[in-house]
Amino acid sequence: MLTIAGVEVDVVYKDVKNFNIRVYPPDGRVRISVPRQVGEARVREVVERRMPWIKQRRIRILAAGQRSGFDLVDGEVHYVWGVPLTLKVIDYDGRALVETDGDYLVLYAKADAPVEKRHGYLDRWYRDELRSFLPELIAKWEHKLGVTVPLWKLRRMKTRWGSCNCKTRHLCFNVELAKRHPDCLEYVVVHEMTHYFERNHGEGFKKRMDLALPDWRARRTLLNATPIEFR
């Protein structure tokens, strides 16, 4: 067993010619099959080169495991603007509310509130978070790109982070964006507004994105590191 870049890697020496790295559910365990004659230094070099992929794969596996068991009870991990927070549920007879408190995401709700109601409370809070961020962000890029966004709205979408109706120029953003790093939200805003100039994702679109947001590819990779959750 080796620890490389903070990740424990199970090293198995076998009669193989090539390195083979696998990340296993449900806990993201990493295992690498290595030719018998290879030394530790070479193993570390190979794993370090593949570490971005390994970490992305682990995030996907861990997130998938969490999504399958979200009952909104104490101890669950939920993301807010890319930061993992531990959920704390407090019995509360008044109107349900959600807030962050240090490393915690706190849900105040009646103890007997059904799971779907709890999800509704959290969904409403995520929407409010986006509504607090988006107006200033959209105004910023309206000025930079020399355009006007006549209408934008929030929706839960199964496969898309955002959409642009090129005819009406209306924009739509996935509520899940409130769980991702703010850089991801800005990427989606610029992406959808760029569709005002380019309908598809061809070279013209990419050139405009390069000029407006040079690191947009890195932001896209960060955004897609975990799949969209949909209820």
DSSP labels, 178-217: GGS-HHHHHHHHHHHHHTTT-SSSSHHHHHHHHHH-TTHH
* Residue given tokens 């009870």 in the structure block: 73
Beta-bridge partners for 88: 106
CA-CA distance, 116 to 153, in Å (whole number)?
23
- CATH code: domain 123-223 is 3.30.2010.10
In this prediction, what percent of the chain has a pLDDT beyond 90? 62
In this prediction, what percent of the chain has a pLDDT beyond 70? 93
Q: pLDDT (tens digit, 9 = 90+) per residue, 104-127?
A: 999 999 988 998 899 999 999 999
CA-CA distance, 41 to 163, in Å (whole number)?
47
Mean pLDDT of the chain: 89
Are 163 and 172 in contact by the 8 Å Cβ rule? The answer is: yes
CA-CA distance, 88 to 64, in Å (whole number)?
21
Please state the rounded mean pLDDT for residues 159-187.
94
* Segments making up each domain of the chain, as ranges: 2-67, 123-223
The pLDDT, as a whole number, for residue 63 is 65
Torsion (CA) 88, 59, 5, 100 in degrees, nearest 10: -30
Give the chain's radius of gyration (CA, Å).
21
Check residues 58 and 39 and name the one with the higher pLDDT.
39
Quickly count: other Cβ atoms within 10 Å of residue 189's Cβ.
Answer: 24
- Continuous segment of H or E residues that includes residue 139: helix 115-145
By the 10 Å C-beta count (0-12 exposed, 13-18 middle, 19+ buried), 36 is classed as exposed
The pLDDT, as a whole number, for residue 161 is 95
CA-CA distance, 127 to 185, in Å (whole number)?
13
